[in-house]
Amino acid sequence: MKLILLGPPGAGKGTQAKMLTERFRIPQISTGDILRGAVKEGTPMGVKAKSYMDAGGLVPDEVVVGIVRERLQKDDCATGFILDGFPRTVGQADALKGTLQDLDKDLDAVLALEVDAEALVERLTGRRTCRECGQGFHVKFDPPAEEGKCDSCGGDLIQRDDDQESTIRKRLHVYDEQTAPLIAYYGEGGLLTCIDGMQEIGSVQEKLLSALQAS
Ligand code: ADP
Ligand code: ADP
Ligand code: ZN
C-alpha cells in the first residue's frame, strides 16, 4: 500500500498515519518529524530548516525532496509507505513522480482530509506531543490519562514551537497558497479521495479504511 495523506496542518494526518502503519505494517514518512529530528540534532540541514519552520513557512523543495528520495529507498518501504506532510507543493509532487518512476513504484491512493479552518486552529493549539516517543495527544479531543504525561511511555508532553496561534495562521495561509493546489493535481490522476475529517478520530479512521478498500 503506497499512500499520500494530504491535508492542512492539524487535519489529523499524523494521527491517522500512525494508526494505518500499525494496521498495514508500513512506515509513516513524515517530513515534519524528520526535519524536527534534524533541528534537534543540529545537523546542517536542521540549521537551514529551522528558520523556515519557526516562521511557519515551507522548507525549500530541494531539501525535502532529497529527504524523501533517500527514505523511499530504505528496505522498510519495499511493501509500501504512508507519506504524511509530503508533497506540499506542485514542485514536490512533480519530483515525487520522478522518484517513484526511478524506483519503479506506483501510488495506490491519495487521501485528502478536509477540516474547517476554525477546527484546525483549535486542534493545533491543543496539540501535545510526547518528548520521548513522539506520540500525539490533544488536551480536549485525545487527552492522556494523566495530564502532561504520555500514556505509552510516561514521558513529558510538550507543545510544538510552531503551534502558537500567530504561526498557525501563517501555516494555514501557506497551505491554501502552496499545498491546496495538489487536490486538483491528484484529482486529475484519478487516485484522489477526499475524506470528511471533522468527525472524531475513530470515525475518520473508518472512512479512510473504506476509501482504501474501494481504491
Ligand atoms: P503539520 O503536521 O502541523 O502540518 P508538519 O510536522 O508536517 O506540520 O510540518 C512542520 C513544518 O515542517 C512545516 O510548517 C514546514 O516548515 C516543514 N515541512 C514539513 N514538511 C514539509 C514539506 N514537505 N515541504 C516543506 N516544508 C515542510
Ligand atoms: P496533522 O499531522 O495533520 O498536522 P495531527 O494528527 O497532529 O495533525 O492532529 C492535530 C491535533 O488534533 C492533535 O492534537 C490530534 O490529537 C488532534 N486530532 C487529530 N484528529 C482529530 C479528530 N478527528 N478530531 C479531533 N481532534 C483530532
Ligand atoms: Zn511517550
Is residue 103 pLDDT above 80, yes or no?
A: yes
77 phi and psi angles, rounded to 5 deg: -95, 5
**Bridge partner list, 112:** 6, 194
Using CA positions, which residue lies closest to atom 6 of ligand 1? 32
- Quick one: average pLDDT of 91-107? 97
Name residues with Cβ closer than 5 Å to ligand 3, which is an ion.
130, 132-133, 135, 150, 152-153, 155
- Amino acid at position 85, single letter: G
pLDDT digits (tens, 9 = 90+) for 129-159: 999 999 999 999 999 999 999 999 999 999 9
Pocket test for ligand 1, best of 35, 51, 71, 120 (most atoms within 8 A of CB): 35
pLDDT digits (tens, 9 = 90+) for 117-133: 999 999 999 999 999 99
The average confidence (pLDDT) of the chain is 96
The catalytically annotated residue of 69, 160, 169, 207 is 160
Domain boundaries, the chain: 2-26+79-116+166-214
Q: Is the CB of 7 under 6 A from ligand 2?
A: yes
What percent of the chain clears pLDDT 70, i.e. is strictly above it? 100
How far apart are alpha carbons 48 and 136 in whole angstroms?
26
In this structure, CATH architecture of domain 2-26+79-116+166-214: 3-Layer(aba) Sandwich (3.40)
Is residue 215 pLDDT above 80, yes or no?
A: no
Closest C-alpha among 199, 189, 176, 34 to residue 113:
199
